[in-house]
A and B are shown apart, each in its own frame.
Chain A
Amino acid sequence: MYRNLYGVNKMSTILNQVSKNYGANNVILNNVSAEIETGEFFVIVGPSGCGKSTLLRMIAGLTEISDGEISIDGQVVNDLQPKDRKLTMVFQSYALFPFLNVWDNVAFGLKARKLDQAEVHQRVNDALDMVSLSEFKDRKPRELSGGQRQRVALARAVASDAKICLMDEPLSNLDAQLRVKMRQEIYQLQRKLGITLIYVTHDQVEAMTMADHIMVLNDHEVQQIGTPTEIYQQPANAFVANFFGTPLINVMPAQKIDDYTLNVDGDFEIRMEQKITDKATKIGIRPGELSIEHADELFANATVKSTEFLGDETIVYATTNSGHDIRVLLPGKAVYAAFEKIKISSSNNIFLFDSLNKRIPMEMGDLVNA
């Protein structure tokens, strides 16, 4: 479930079977293990309530660890104070001091660490330069826009000079456009500074666009850790497949007809190139793998509900004859009327899931039925 845990690279953050619970009946996180390499952009993603913020707070030292071990650069930090973990954190609310101006907000931590005056000035000015806030240094937080406040929080992290930076949903208070912009800024900042960035979000797009590695959490457990490509192309289970990609993947029950043919709940058939294992009970089809033909009553296997034209693509929402909602992504503009009968067919670039929703590997060279 975790990558390369025992190929220990000393300069990294290692979570080893980390758990958090408040009594036996209130488990927040169960056996989370991962290795976060130095200098990488590591995104922890999952739906709300999955424990991702708790995990981040445990790394920061703000929440106690119930079980397991967290080590940073070879040192177990379970019992270290937050300030001794040599990291910095950007909060969702930014945690700016309303009574201090931008400059003093950034300098707060440096003064607390009793750095000498010249160095504080140097670092604060550099950090403000880096996030292009120098001209706002005398303003109070309330005189700044949401994006600027966010930048102050980033500047504080930059100024701290810590090698590990934790971010807890830093973009969730911003509007959509600003979020895209700040996403790029955070990414560039991380690359420029070469820091390890551990970033918590519930937004799959943020995870896909920024991460070197993604940890998917759900139901208090790690579902998968991998690169964005791995997560998208080889999801460990139906949950991960469902969580990534827009429009949503179609997960439907399917029955094996013969070694190479699947019947999707009586609606249509898919011809596979590899032998199909008996364990397969469900399939996942990305909306882009489906195609549609106009069809008369006799050949139709679905009815159009609605369409969404997105410019380059069109999403068709339909209901199959067996009653499953299905999403189809078509290139360009496609015209289908509501209630129109259509015939849907699928490519064989699909995922097979077993009865426990785990993906059955089908890649070339994978041993099917082993």
Chain B
Amino acid sequence: MLKSTTPTVVGSKTEAKTKHRTFSLNAKDKYYAALFLGPSLLILSVFVFYPMLRTLYISMFLTNTLGKTTVFNGLGNYTDLLGSPEYIASLGSTLVYVFAVTVLTVGIGLLLANLASKRLPGIGIFRTLYSVTMGVSVSVAAIFWLFIFNPSTGFFALLSNLLGLPVINWLTDPTMAMWAVIITTVWMNLGFTFLILLGAISAVPTTLYEAASIEGASERRQFFKITVPMISPTLFFVSTITLIEGFKSFGLIDLITKGGPTNSTNMLVYRIYKDAFYSGNYAQASSEAIILTVIIAFFTFLQFKFLEKRVNY
């Protein structure tokens, strides 16, 4: 791998056109190229390339409980998975979760960022408060929200009692458990999304708003006709990041619902973890991982194809 990569990285375009196309580097250049590229290639190979190829390999075998491959199974693991109603249900709940999380995170983040971008006295306090979840770890957030969701002493229970409404069993009702996980994830995501969007909104030249206000555009119109299009590259960025992160959610699910009740929050990543490390079914977990990779790649591709065209100006 080293040999084939180094010359193209260091050789300039003009050099590449000369007859010494592949071996135009002198010994010293090669030495430096290897020196600079070596560490990252080594790290990537050990932690990314090898596991990826190994996962792909395992996914086409059957494995024993130690994870050793036993019998070649071709695409058998994949066909088994796609024929399993349980897996399809898991896929469905993951999609619901990911889309709800993305829409809510970006929507609420945009709303808060727009509010916090106004020049008002004391606005700094809100800017700090809204971005504070960036500094909260998943475990702390999970504990915090478990307290809030607690059906007898939690904040929501107290609120329901106060208003005379029936208490919601956030973590034992399958539908509400999904919402509990969504709410917690959105809350966790907000800090980062808010901060990035606030930065983008602050970078919009004020003269655009001034020109618009002289020309008679209302605040609402200014938001939709100036702010949103001006920050659309950033909106695209945060929605892509949130979507990918959504598919990869693990920590909060493990700490809040553990995939339950009745598998209602058994998202793809959590399923992979359980299949591999609880059931010892490494082959199936590997094929699930490959499917998840394909799904994420597919949605990212869709986003780039359809959204990116509209956000460039």
Contacts and interface: CB of A to CB of B under 8 A. Distances in A.
Interface of A: 60-62, 81-83, 85, 87-89, 91, 93, 95, 97-99, 108-109, 112-113, 140, 142, 156, 160
Interface in B214-253: 214-218, 221, 225-226, 229-230, 232
Interface string B176-211: 000000000000000000000000000001011011
Given A93-B207, A95-B208, A99-B230, A108 B215 contact: yes
Contacts of B212: 108-109, 112
11 contacts: A62-B214, A82-B213, A87-B214, A88-B214, A91-B210, A95-B205, A95-B210, A97-B230, A108-B225, A112-B218, A112-B225
A140 B215 CA distance: 20
A254 to B, nearest CB: 48
Nearest to B232: A99
A85 B213 CA distance: 11
> Most chain-B Cβ atoms within 10 A of its Cβ — which of A85, A87, A89?
A89
Contacts of A156: 211, 215
Contact of B221 (A61, A91, A112, A160): A112
B313 A93 contact: no
A88 B229 contact: no
Contact of A82 (B207, B214, B221, B230): B214
Nearest to A63: B210
A83 B313 contact: no
B313 A99 contact: yes
B216 A112 contact: yes
Interface size class of B (residues with CB under 8 A): 10 to 19
Interface SS majority for chain B: helix
Contact of A109 (B215, B218, B229): B215
Interface SS majority for chain A: mixed
Interface of B: 205, 207-208, 210-218, 221, 225-226, 229-230, 232, 313
Given A89-B211, A109-B214, 20 more contacts: A62-B214, A81-B213, A82-B213, A83-B216, A83-B217, A85-B214, A87-B214, A89-B210, A93-B205, A93-B207, A95-B211, A98-B313, A99-B229, A108-B212, A109-B212, A109-B217, A112-B212, A112-B217, A156-B211, A156-B215
Contacts of B230: 97-99
Nearest to A108: B215
B213 A83 contact: yes
A64 to B, nearest CB: 13
A142 B313 CA distance: 8
Contact of A83 (B205, B215, B226): B215
Given A93-B205, A99-B230, A140-B313, A108 B217 contact: yes
